[in-house]
Amino acid sequence: MWILVLLWPVVLGFSLEDDSQNTLTYDEMGSTGADGTVGPLSGPQEKTPHSPHLRSFPGQLQGNSSNILELPDSSRALLLGWVSTRLVPALYGLTLLVGLPANGLALWVLATRVPRLPSTMLLMNLAAADLLLALTLPLRVAYHLQDQHWPFGEAACRATTAALYGHMYGSVLLLAAVSLDRYLGVVHPLRALTLRGRRLAAGLCVVAWLVAGALALPLALQPQTFQLSHSDHVLCHDVLPVGAQASYWRPVFLCLAVLGCFLPLLVMLLSYGATLCALAAGGPRYGHALRLTALVLASAMAFFVPSNILLLLHYSDPRPDAWGDLYAAYVPSLALSTLNSCVDPFIYYYVSVEFRDKGKRPSDHEGRHWGEQDDC
């Protein structure tokens, strides 16, 4: 969270120039897309005193062209600035470099060395979602490093945008499923003997993947590559026509924030809150599990809440003067959200002595998974 606080004034400073002439407004759909880059301003700011505007950087189509967008110089500076072309790809690159091997190793150990318990199934799916999230990032990193130029085509733009959001929110949903499993094992151990089985774990995983897929599907159904006027830059989801923003993208991203983030985090908060109370009542012998559970909950809140609060605020009131230039802070906060996929394996897997031991020797009949060993 403190990282976002530090970044806020840095990135916001780029949007305050010439504020008397232009209302710099940020667009979720335009940028929140898969890359978290700064979206462009509305065209040459031809607005009437009473005309409604989304607080965004909507592009104005150039003449009769369907894929060339006009942007003023101030918007180009934001779109091609160091936040989008250096900071954001650095954060995505860190997620790729750490998350790919960490989750790959975690998935391998869980699949080959750990007993097939219900919690193992949940953690395998979580590791798979985080691994797939990392695999969506190379094209995004290349796009940002090429000064916001997308050479991979419309289909690849839609696919990477949908995959980024789908796998990221899929991770949140699976984190909520893990919290329910922990809750049953700790707070209701007797009831868990009948409820906490493979069927429940498989059902939670299926629901998480289906909901994530349904939330991400709209991101793959609309055109998202547009050429920046008077340049050879092809933008991917960074700026969209103003009409599509109000009619299509606003409900899409509201659903993503509410159903993909805040509802699962509420489940985590309630489940882990009850789990923490039960562990605290058990005395000092549960100190390790208590600290680990608190770390899991704090990590999820710190990585996902800031960006999704900004996303929700943007769309809760579309007036340009409602919340100011929040998108400048949303850009790095979205990239920071993906770093949670790097933290998950270290929290859930590598902090477990048994997991490290399983990575060194074949599974034996005495081993139990961290979920059962520490929580129950």
The tokens describing 246, both together, are 């109000």
Sheet of 234-236, strands arranged across: 60-61, 68-70, 225-228, 234-236
pLDDT at res. 15? 39
Burial of 348 (0-12, 13-18, 19+ CB in 10 A): buried
d(CA 376, CA 354): 15
Confidence of residue 247 (pLDDT cuts 50, 70, 90): confident
- Evaluate if residue 376 carries a pLDDT over 80: no
Q: How confident is the model over 320-363, as pLDDT tens digits?
A: 455 555 666 777 888 899 999 999 888 877 665 545 555 454 44
Q: Which domains does the chain have, with CATH numbers?
A: 82-229+244-321+331-375 (1.20.1070.10)
Give dist(CA 235, CA 22) in Å, integer: 22
Task: With a cut of 90, say whether residue 207 has pLDDT above it.
Answer: yes
What values do phi and psi take at 68, rounded to 5? -115, 125
Tokens 């995983």 correspond to 205
Residue (of 314, 172, 143) closest to 236 by Cα position? 143
Render pLDDT for 43-73 as a digit per residue (tens, 0 to 9).
343 443 333 333 334 444 555 556 777 766 6
In the block, residue with structure tokens 């110089």: 73
Q: b vs e for 282-291, b when ≥16 Cβ sit within 10 Å of the residue's Cβ?
A: eeeebeebbe
Asked if residue 186 lies in contact with residue 271, where contact means CB atoms within 8 angstroms, the answer is: no
pTM of the model: 0.77
Q: What is the pLDDT of residue 13?
A: 41
- Residue 211 · residue 336 · CB < 8 Å: no
Report the distance separating Cα 261 and Cα 259, nearest Å: 6
Name the token pair of 241: 């026509």
Q: Can you give the C-alpha Rg of the chain in angstroms?
A: 22
List 227's β-bridge partners, or say none: 68, 234
Measured CA to CA, the distance from residue 195 to residue 305 in angstroms comes to 30
